[in-house]
Amino acid sequence: MTREEAAEILERIALLLELKGENPFKIRAYKTGAEVVQTHPGDILQLARENALDGIKGLGDALRDKLHELATTGRLEFFEKLKAEFPESLFELFEISGLGPKKIAALHAQLGVSSLADLRRVCESGEAAQLSGFGAKTVEKLLEAIAFREAHASEFRLDQVYALALELLETLRSHPRVSRAEICGSFRRGKEVVHDLDFLVASKHPQEVMADFVRLPQVDKIIAQGDTKASIYTPGGLQCDLRVVTSAEFPFALQYFTGSKEHNVVMRSRALDRGLSLNEYGFKPSQAGAALPEEVAEIAEEKQIYQLLGLDYIEPELRENAGEFEAAEKGRLPRLIELENLRGVFHNHTTASDGSASLREMAEAAMDLGLQYLGIADHSRSSFQANGLDEKRLRAQIAEIQKLNAEFEGSFRIFTGSEVDILKDGSLDFPDDLLAELDYVVASVHNVFNLPEAEMTARIIRAIENPYVTMLGHVTGRLLAQRPAYAVNLPAILDAAARTGTIIELNASPWRLDMDWRWWRLAVEKGVKCSVNPDAHSTRGLQDVIFGIRSARKGWLRRQDVVNCLRLEDIETELLRKRKTGVH
């Protein structure tokens, strides 16, 4: 039993209890327990085996007993009995946008829906439309959501693959027969989702490396195994490919298998212009009998390939044939933002709304990460499903933050804020006099996603014209591989943000990574600033900035483009800039 497996069991218990209509406090206890298991700094399963979980916040007596059973036996009788009441395929339905536990319970109880195939059948037959709370429009949206999910079924979010990728890479690097190892493909290029993982190693003993690779504990099924290439599936269905090359071939293979295809086409063309043929194994003369330049023999690193082709080194994230060659020729490639450039983070939630950690716990976790400041932005009152704060509760939180800031004595600062709902007409969920009491405001759309593009665009622009709206949150509302972006005119939004001085967030949640990396160059051209926000709902969630930085780099962003790279003494001025200019 691993930490991840134990947490998933607790999360599934919470879902099954929701299906049964159990007490919401009981459901939340299991969700909180799953988060505690994921984020506890110590070996929580060892503590569970030793019955030493007393004092860990978020774990009551019942949960401590269940974790002890999980840790000592590898199974949980309560979960097995609960799970037996429902088919395993029912969990597929939770991946469909627009379906919550109540609707799934109704579909299952009244129409016997137990899988995506069942759901499609009852939607297409019209049976689902007859249920209370559904109707023709709901069914139409469900069919669209099913089609979207099926079209993206082979995609994996970064949080689903990141730890595994680093774990496998470290295993390969520590192999006694491996001299070099890297991850290639879309993962190395910082794409928002991946279809597989591509590993590359240099070794003089490829067959031995291959044999050890397919026997790793992360392997569920061997797809293929040859002399220099192997492919496997992990238990989660992710395909991982391994290629073995010589040390001399390694820099060329690294460049080639990183991609993209479009980038590599231009690289090969530039090589031909210089009388060279470039492939994954190295340079050759493009003309028979011609000699190779002396520099070719000296190539030991990927950077030297670019230098030989008359280019500054192009970082992997930029390799999409989207202007990087022109910039590399002219010495105008940006110095991309690095994770260590971040001084603080905004848009974070606490137990006051739908977070799993208290205000103090979030602050202490931010300090442990070496940050200078933390922006709290719990949900506003209209987000009732997220336990949104009303005016009284928000003012109480402001007072609590002020007390903590006095305790920190200037060494660290919590900024008061709110993630305020943008209502259907573009007005905000709180009045201006309350917003004026906050250090900053994140405005976000959380409902009515189906507006026509012009109406949705006007809705968002009206919101960001409010002088108290500091940032626009997750601008398109997408959930990767689960829900498409709503219709919105992004160039018009960026124009409005530039005109009003509104910051656009890059929501670093691996579910979102929104605004998409493809739009950030245009945003910077217009003078729009970015804030890389984790949208953290737990202390562990603060670390999602790792994914946000990857996406920021892919969007050509530099540290000067990102406001939360500013020092504490400078960020206060930046947050108030829009209010002081009075631009609407």
Q: Give the pair of three-digit tokens for residue 34.
A: 């799953």
Q: What is the pLDDT of residues 71-117, one digit of tens each?
A: 999 999 999 999 899 888 888 898 888 888 888 989 998 999 999 99
Calculate ∠ Cα 492-496-497, nearest 5°: 115
Q: What is the pLDDT of residue 171?
A: 97
Q: What is the pLDDT of residue 70?
A: 93
SS3 196: strand
Question: Is there a cis peptide before residue 260, judged by omega within 30 degrees of 0?
Answer: yes
State how far the Cα of 429 lies from the Cα of 420, in Å rounded to an integer: 6
Looking at this protein, which amino acid is placed at residue 344? G
Q: What is the pLDDT of residue 584?
A: 54
**Helix, strand, coil in percent for the chain, rounding step 5:** 50, 15, 35
Q: What is the pLDDT of residue 67?
A: 95
Asked whether 123 and 98 are in contact (CB, 8 A), the reply is: no
Burial of 392 from C-beta contacts in 10 A (0-12 / 13-18 / 19+): exposed
State how far the Cα of 252 lies from the Cα of 283, in Å rounded to an integer: 8
Q: What is the pLDDT of residue 583?
A: 57
CB neighbour list of residue 238: distance below 8 Å, 6 or more residues apart? 156, 160, 161, 164, 196, 197
What is the SS3 string spanning 168-181? Answer: HHHHHHCCCCCCEE
Q: What is the pLDDT of residue 40?
A: 82
Containing H/E element for 110? helix 101-111
State how far the Cα of 264 lies from the Cα of 279, in Å rounded to an integer: 9
**Taking Cα atoms as reference points, which of 154, 92, 155, 156 lies closest to residue 120?**
92
**DSSP bridge pairs for 506:** 532
Q: Domains of the chain (ranges plus CATH)?
A: 3-151 (1.10.150.110), 156-246 (3.30.460.10), 252-329 (3.30.210.10), 339-581 (3.20.20.140)
State how far the Cα of 292 lies from the Cα of 540, in Å rounded to an integer: 52
Asked whether 196 and 259 are in contact (CB, 8 A), the reply is: no
In the chain, which residues have pLDDT < 50? none
Largest CA distance in the chain: 82
